[in-house]
């Protein structure tokens, strides 16, 4: 592809008078342009996910993830590779960054280093690339000779090849097994692909390495559990992670880690399953290092800590989940509160919803400085459990998780009725991420209205209000409706000048 036809080399009409702008106007323009990058990446999520699956599979087989690039693209690849060992405790040779011109090119531009395909071939060959490796070429233009040479050598060696490019129809697309094409458009400084193209590249690299490491069991929820406490800083971090997941206090978490040779994964499995450290390590090896798979297969310990004088209340919706641990008596004190992600099964799926429930409960116990164990009773008011299948999934989880002697699962409106009415009957209306009305009479009969989701209903919800505002502004733009005070606010939020909108 001729460089003159690259979209990243074309002129950005919004920046034709860049040198006449004030500092504030420059950063406003840059921020607006950057806001479009995530949308461009969004078009390639399926391709990125496929790449993650392949990378994780090859890494399990002792293969490597190898980034190859020149200039900014090469530096970003080296940066992502360098961050993997401290973040995920991966071996330094597992994720590798290669840049045209070698290490010197990391700190200063080496002109012409990218122009030699034979250099790319030699660099890949020097790594003894093979069928278990994944080689990702990084080049905004999609035509960098160094990267094309590297990919050619990788394919000859039988490696899986992918590419991150920012121009459609580039030379690199047909040369790789899986192209990732993020079209960010022209830069505000003509041809300076360290800007939007560089930002897009970093976002994709973050997804590739992080996604693969998560699939390899390097995390438990959002916590970096593939960690061995070998110094004071790591011991403090390991202790904090174990406390969050197990609910133990600092002293008991330290004892658990000491008995597990400082291995966070081993300590977590020992506590959650009742296995010995040796058994936990063996189970982890068999489960490819996944703490969750081990705990799900083995189950919780046979003799967990029991809290007969405590109760749990859990309120879960489409945005977040809140767990409250309190004393079991009238006016009992709240001992701990935990907040986590969404737990609406209909919105985020059962796996993520149950993870949010576990996380919120663990954080509530940790806040109370108590080890997690069954309580006397738990009430779970959750959006999305109106269907029996969804409610049954949560009930099964509560039983397996040994949440409480008695666990009641119902719509989140039931909590509102229980808290807001003297006898627990009446009408509750909730308008949050979604909306629903729920009614119960004196005899315990109940009915509901709404809760159909944003496509079919959710009238009065945050989504519906935002959609109504956008529609009102659009009607004004089409001269089909009156001007609204929301127009300026909306346009300012999305970076559109009012004069351009009115034109």
- Is residue 426 one of the residues assigned to a domain? no
Are 206 and 185 in the same domain? yes
CA gap 444, 425 in Å, rounded: 8
- Indicate the pairing of strand 426-431 with strand 404-410: unpaired
Which structural domain range is residue 42 located in?
A: 3-215
Number of domains into which the chain is organized: 4
Are 199 and 128 in the same domain? yes
Are 203 and 273 in the same domain? no
Residue of 75, 76, 80, 50 lying closest to 65 (CA atoms):
80
- Indicate the pairing of strand 404-410 with strand 375-382: parallel
- Is residue 425 one of the residues assigned to a domain? no
Note the pTM of the prediction, 2 decimals.
0.60
- How far the first Cα of the chain sits from its last, in Å, is 36
| Number of continuous H segments (helices) and E segments (strands) in the chain | 19, 15
Give residue for tokens 């429930």. Answer: 357
CATH of the domain at 114: 3.40.50.10490
CB atoms within 10 A of CB 158: 11
What does the block give as tokens for 109?
């531009």
Task: List the chain pLDDT tens, one digit each, 503 residues.
Answer: 556 567 767 787 887 888 889 999 999 999 998 999 999 999 999 999 999 999 999 999 999 999 999 999 999 999 999 999 888 889 999 999 999 999 889 988 887 788 899 999 999 999 999 999 999 999 999 889 999 999 999 999 999 999 999 999 899 999 999 999 999 988 889 878 889 999 999 999 999 999 999 999 999 888 888 877 678 888 888 888 888 888 777 788 889 999 999 899 999 999 888 889 999 999 999 998 898 888 888 766 544 467 889 999 999 888 889 999 999 888 889 999 999 999 988 888 888 898 889 889 989 998 998 888 889 999 998 887 877 688 889 998 888 778 888 888 887 767 666 665 666 667 777 776 677 776 767 766 766 667 666 666 667 777 777 777 788 777 877 778 777 777 777 777 777 665 555 55
- Indicate the pairing of strand 223-224 with strand 219-220: antiparallel
Are 224 and 167 in the same domain? no
Are 48 and 145 in the same domain? yes
Are 64 and 188 in the same domain? yes
Are 56 and 99 in the same domain? yes
- Is residue 41 one of the residues assigned to a domain? yes
Are 84 and 151 in the same domain? yes
Pair 401, 358: CB distance under 8 Å: yes
E-strand stretches of 174-291: 178-181, 219-220, 223-224
Residue of 296, 273, 321 lying closest to 217 (CA atoms):
296
Pair 280, 263: CB distance under 8 Å: no
Are 286 and 313 in the same domain? no
- Kindly state the DSSP code that residue 332 receives in the 8-state scheme: P
Are 103 and 198 in the same domain? yes
CA gap 409, 381 in Å, rounded: 6
Pair 250, 243: CB distance under 8 Å: yes
CATH of the domain at 235: 1.10.8.1080
Are 62 and 187 in the same domain? yes
- Is residue 251 one of the residues assigned to a domain? yes
Pair 269, 257: CB distance under 8 Å: no
SS3 content of the chain, % helix, strand, coil (to 5): 50, 15, 35
Q: Domain ends where: 215, 240, 274? A: 215
Residues serving a catalytic function are 83, 114
Q: Domain ends where: 170, 191, 215? A: 215
- Is residue 432 one of the residues assigned to a domain? no
Pair 93, 118: CB distance under 8 Å: no
Are 188 and 63 in the same domain? yes
């Amino acid at each position: 592809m001729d460089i003159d036809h690259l979209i990243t080399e074309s002129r950005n009409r919004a920046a034709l008078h860049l040198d006449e702008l004030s500092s504030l106007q420059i950063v406003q323009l840059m921020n607006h342009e950057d806001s479009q990058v995530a949308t461009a990446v969004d078009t390639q999520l399926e391709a990125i996910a496929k790449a993650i699956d392949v990378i994780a599979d090859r890494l399990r087989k002792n293969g490597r993830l190898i980034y190859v690039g020149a200039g900014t693209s090469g530096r970003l690849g080296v940066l992502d590779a360098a961050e993997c060992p401290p973040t995920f405790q991966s071996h330094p040779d597992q994720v590798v960054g290669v840049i045209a011109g070698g290490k010197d090119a990391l700190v200063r531009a080496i002109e012409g280093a990218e122009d030699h395909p034979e250099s790319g071939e030699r660099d890949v060959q020097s790594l003894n690339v093979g069928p278990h490796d994944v080689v990702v070429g990084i080049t905004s233009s999609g035509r960098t000779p160094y990267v094309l040479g590297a990919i050619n050598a990788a394919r000859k060696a039988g490696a899986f090849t992918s590419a991150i490019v920012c121009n459609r129809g580039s030379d690199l697309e047909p040369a790789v097994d899986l192209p990732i094409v993020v079209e960010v458009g022209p830069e505000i400084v003509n041809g300076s692909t360290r800007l939007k193209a560089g930002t897009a590249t970093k976002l994709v690299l973050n997804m590739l390495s992080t996604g693969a490491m998560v699939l390899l069991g390097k995390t438990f929820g959002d916590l970096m559990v593939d960690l061995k406490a070998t110094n004071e800083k790591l011991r403090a971090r390991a202790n904090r992670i174990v406390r969050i997941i197990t609910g133990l206090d600092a002293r008991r978490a330290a004892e658990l880690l000491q008995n597990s040779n400082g291995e966070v994964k081993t300590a977590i499995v020992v506590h959650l399953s009742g296995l010995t450290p040796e058994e936990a390590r063996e189970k982890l090896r068999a489960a490819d290092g996944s703490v969750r798979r081990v705990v799900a297969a083995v189950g919780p310990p046979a003799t967990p800590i029991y809290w007969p004088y405590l109760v749990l209340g859990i309120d879960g919706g489409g945005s977040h989940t809140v767990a409250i641990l309190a004393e079991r008596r009238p006016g009992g004190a709240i001992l701990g509160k935990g907040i986590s992600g969404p737990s609406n099964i209909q919105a985020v799926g059962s796996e993520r919803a149950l993870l949010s429930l576990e996380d919120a409960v663990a954080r509530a116990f940790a806040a109370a400085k108590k080890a997690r164990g069954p309580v006397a009773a738990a009430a779970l008011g959750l959006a999305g459990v109106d269907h029996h299948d969804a409610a049954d999934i949560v009930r099964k989880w509560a039983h397996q998780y040994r949440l409480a002697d008695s666990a009641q699962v119902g719509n989140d409106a039931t909590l509102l009725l229980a808290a807001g009415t003297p006898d627990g009957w009446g009408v509750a209306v909730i308008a949050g991420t979604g909306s629903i009305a729920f009614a119960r009479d004196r005899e315990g009969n109940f009915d509901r209205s709404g809760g159909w989701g944003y496509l079919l209903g959710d009238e009065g919800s945050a989504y519906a209000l935002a959609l109504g505002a956008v529609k009102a502004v659009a009607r004004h733009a089409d001269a089909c409706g009156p001007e609204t005070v929301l127009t300026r606010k909306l346009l300012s939020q999305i970076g559109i000048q009012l004069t351009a909108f009115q034109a």
